[in-house]
Chains A and B, each alone.
Chain A
Amino acid sequence: MDGSIGVPVVRRDGAAKTSGTALYAADFPHADTAYAALTTSTVTRGRIIRIDTTEAEAVPGVQMVLTHHSLNETLGEETFVMKGGHMQSSFMPLTSDEVHYAGQIVALVVADTQEAAEEASRKVSVDYAAQHASASIEDADRVEEPMDDKSIDVGDAEAAFDRAPVKVDATYLTPAQHHNPIELYGATAVWQDGKLLVNAPSQWVVGNQAGLAAIFGLPMDDIRVESPYLGGGFGAKATILPHTVLVAMAARRLGRPVKLVVPRETGFTVSSFRPATRSRVRLAAEQDGTIVAVMHDEAAQSAVIDHVAFPATGVTARMYASPNIRMRESTIATDVNTPGFQRAPAEAPGFFGFESAVDELAVALGMDPIELRIKNEPVCDPVKGLPWSSRSLVPCFRRGAELFGWNRRTPEVGSMTTPDGMLLGWGCASATYPSAMCPSSARVKLSADGTCVVSCAAHDLGTGAYTVLGQVAADVLGVPDELVRVHLGDSTLPSGPVAGGSVTTGSAGSAVHMAALAVRERLLKAAAGGGDPASFTLAGGHVIGPDSHGRPVAEVLASVTGGMIEETADWKPGSMSGDQMRMGLAGGMAFAGPTTETHASYSFGAQFAEVRVDPLLRTVRVSRMVGVFACGRIINPRTARSNLMGGMIWGASFALLEETKVDRPRARFANTDLAGYHFSTNADIGEVVVETVDEVDTVVNAIGAKAVGEIGIVGMPAAIANAIYHATGVRVRKTPILVEDLLG
């Protein structure tokens, strides 16, 4: 079957995943494995004043209890990912008696069986000296710290706002949320001959390898991080989670493999989460809908132990043409585990407020919300004046409106109903996601048996990378899909980028493309003998010479030493220095874009929602979602569709269900399991229609592919809130939108 770019090739890993043979981190068999369990803090802030492990150690089968007393080891220099390291947090549990958040690891128990380890973990007895703590940005004692370097000022937005005839000024709230991949966090560590193998679900095997090498003072080659499949990541599994380090230490001391599977409840605090945000959005327009001022002040939850922020205003600033823009960012430190990246970390919360405000402006103007957006479409980046590498937001809206049937919408609140008496609401919103790039290596091998093997330490989180990266090579080399093999998720492979920021296809794909071109060049050279390779081409599994005579590729390869051609390529984004590339390939965070000296590169999308609201009970159902996206060249429409669809359903979850509730008096997360933390089930989701528009982007990277993985969620929460307003006349400026918010 044709496996080239643009073909909806069937997911390459589908058979392994549906037969139960795909090995996820906790599935690797290691002989004589011991099992670990965690004891976590029951107070939020303070010190451990006594920790007694006697009872735990007496449980039959227990081998070891690690606490801050018994760990007693100096770790190598490593730190928080946002400070240039690879860790989820600057704070490493068990290195002191300090407690910085509820649910912090205070002991790790290792036993011969899972059951014994769990029993013993509950018998570790701890006394704390607790101090006052706060885990909510709404608590009175919390202070907002401005981040002046994130401010954006174009023109004089305050003055333009004051003068304008039509304006909106509103504040929107989004709560803390947790990734909750279905696969639990965990790690298995195996030491052999002084070398460490870690099986942990990872979106960044090379980064994890580099970090663990630093912690254990070993060369990178002595560390292997193997994670060929992971059961969802969504940003949570990029950094090294502290328990991975503890498990590796325990395994080294015991001289046995140690395996930890973190319980769902504990997963809320041993990893990261999406921080709560508060956005004040001010928009002003002339009577004809011309926007004259855009202001967005965002305050986001951070941690006392780590200053961290995912500013949205640098992205919302780029949505609409306005001569006056003023953006401000600040953080609010709370006593929580360090927040982190969660699918569209900046954009998803920021666009809820921003795109709700655009809808409010359309209502204030009495204008169709799509017309308002199209009227203010910017010809270039409104902040820097740079051209777009490609921007097809308007075609997305036009196609989306057609698919959705937008012209049948009557704008008056409550004017549409279903035959069974439900209030019908139709809303829309814009979405965007920056197309940043990372350096990547890749290896491509073409053999006389016809197979093409692609190897890269990139990752398939369910995104389709196994399929897509193979297609990039198949496209260059004309190999049928069934002869393509792809190896990912192993730090022994050529370096690949972190699966974050929706960079994999563009970055690893460009490296695969480069390596495949190099293979092709050598193949043509071999076929040409002493002749001119430029007069040879590759088609249908044959090398065609200047005389139009074709020779099978296998025959040409058989004449080459070793019967195969293999090439490894190092690709870097055009705007990146060689030093940056080397740092990135060695496991550092190296991003280029989305804005370079010459262009701004973003994916764009138009999203639509239909809600049905019960007029009495005020329950909301999302009966229909439509999303049309422009993400450059789509390598595989089938996997791209699933990825975008998943993002849209995340958006519906965001709008109506997701919230990690904070127990404010006790300063901790309250609903820490899947019974209490809700996200969409099958029955919550109606029809989902996804399309992409054709777009040619010759600037963004070698294969013209822009970001796909995260944009799907971005506009959906606002589209749903806007639809709810259309149905009910109630403007809810917080998520999740609940029945009680609509009783008004």
Chain B
Amino acid sequence: MSVQTIPVTLEVNGHNHSLHLDPRTTLLDALREHLGMTGTKVGCNHGTCGACTVHIDGHARLACLTLAAAATGHSILTIEGLAAADGTPHPMQAAFVAYDALQCGYCTPGQIMSAIACVAEGHTRTDDEIRDYMSGNLCRCAAYPNIVAAVRHVAGAV
């Protein structure tokens, strides 16, 4: 017997993708396993690490806690969609490199997606505010002080 699927259309980084998915498929698995977009990472699959953070309609969301079917009709932005058309990195991507705000890099896509939301939502008045906002994204390598520096830099530039 084969797996029962439902049709799901996802708009990711401005492109529409039509898929047939097991209804239980998370947005995270749809991105990684069905669309081959592995920039979004998996660290727990239950909402505790932040590695899977993407933007849905401009808000930071956990792709592991979002069913793919529920993301239909919404606009999804992932790490792969941040750079400009000519390949210039998003200022937050550049700041993470400039401040060495990463080590193994596994939490990094999720950190960057949260960091962009942190600046957009204005939670950058103090370092403590940045630390608080960014605490949903765990970094086991503990690049935390450098992550704060990168976010502070981008916030100061906007």
| A residues adjacent to B (C-beta < 8 A) | 10-11, 13-24, 26-27, 29, 35, 60-61, 111-116, 179-184, 229-234, 261, 263-264, 461-464, 638-639, 641-643, 645-646, 649-650, 653, 673-675, 679-685, 687-688
Contact = CB atoms under 8 A, between A and B. Distances in A.
Given A18-B97, A113-B3, A232 B141 contact: yes
A713 to B, nearest CB: 10
B51 to A, nearest CB: 6
B72 interface: no
Contacts of B94: 18
A181 B40 CA distance: 16
A112 B3 CA distance: 8
Given A20-B79, A27-B38, A682-B131, A182 B43 contact: yes
Nearest to A35: B33
B80 interface: yes
B97 A15 contact: yes
B71 interface: no
Given A674-B49, A679-B138, A683-B132, A642 B100 contact: yes
7 contacts: A14-B96, A116-B22, A182-B106, A184-B44, A234-B140, A264-B49, A681-B135
Nearest to A641: B100
B78 A20 contact: yes
A18 B102 contact: yes
B18 interface: no
Contacts of A17: 102, 105, 108
A461 to B, nearest CB: 6
Given A230-B104, A682-B137, A688-B145, A675 B3 contact: no
A650 B98 CA distance: 23
A231 B134 contact: no
A627 B93 CA distance: 28
B141 A13 contact: no
Contacts of B142: 645-646, 649-650, 653, 680, 685
B49 A182 contact: yes
Contacts of B139: 182, 682
B10 interface: no
Contacts of B96: 14, 18
Contacts of A20: 37-40, 78-80, 109
A195 B80 CA distance: 33
B48 A675 contact: yes
Contact of B103 (A15, A179, A463): A463
Contact of A232 (B83, B140, B146): B140
Nearest to B36: A29
A18 B93 contact: yes
B46 interface: yes
Contacts, number: 198
A680 B38 contact: no
B3 A462 contact: no
B145 A645 contact: yes
B25 interface: yes
B103 A22 contact: no
Given A22-B105, A61-B1, 11 more contacts: A11-B102, A14-B100, A19-B83, A61-B2, A111-B3, A229-B104, A461-B104, A462-B141, A464-B103, A675-B48, A683-B134
Contacts of A60: 1-4
A61 B145 contact: no
Contact of A184 (B42, B104, B105): B42
A370 B83 CA distance: 50
Nearest to A647: B142
Given A17-B102, A24-B106, A646 B79 contact: no
Contacts of B42: 26, 184, 261
Given A11-B97, A264-B44, A19 B36 contact: no
Contacts of B146: 642, 645
Interface string B80-97: 101100000100011011
Given A60-B4, A682-B137, A688-B145, A643 B103 contact: yes
B3 A229 contact: no
B19 interface: no
Most A CB contacts (10 A, CB to CB) among B40, B79, B144 go to B144
Contacts of A679: 138, 140
B40 A114 contact: no
Contacts of B80: 19-21
A264 B103 contact: no
Contact of A231 (B39, B41, B145, B147): B41
A20 B89 CA distance: 11
Nearest to A264: B44
A674 B106 contact: no
Contacts of B103: 232, 461-464, 642-643, 646
Nearest to A11: B100
Nearest to A28: B38
Nearest to A118: B24
Nearest to A58: B1
A182 B22 contact: no
Contacts of B40: 20
A650 to B, nearest CB: 6
B56 interface: no
A115 B25 contact: yes
A230 B132 CA distance: 27
Contacts of B38: 20, 23-24, 26-27, 29
Most B CB contacts (10 A, CB to CB) among A17, A181, A643 go to A17
B112 interface: yes
A13 B107 CA distance: 14
Contacts of B41: 24, 182-183, 231
Nearest to B51: A182
B45 interface: yes
Contact of B143 (A646, A683, A687): A646
B104 A183 contact: yes
Contacts of B69: none
Given A20-B39, A232-B141, A14 B102 contact: yes
Contacts of B98: 10
Interface in B15-38: 22, 24-25, 29, 32-33, 36-38
Nearest to A16: B105
B105 A687 contact: no
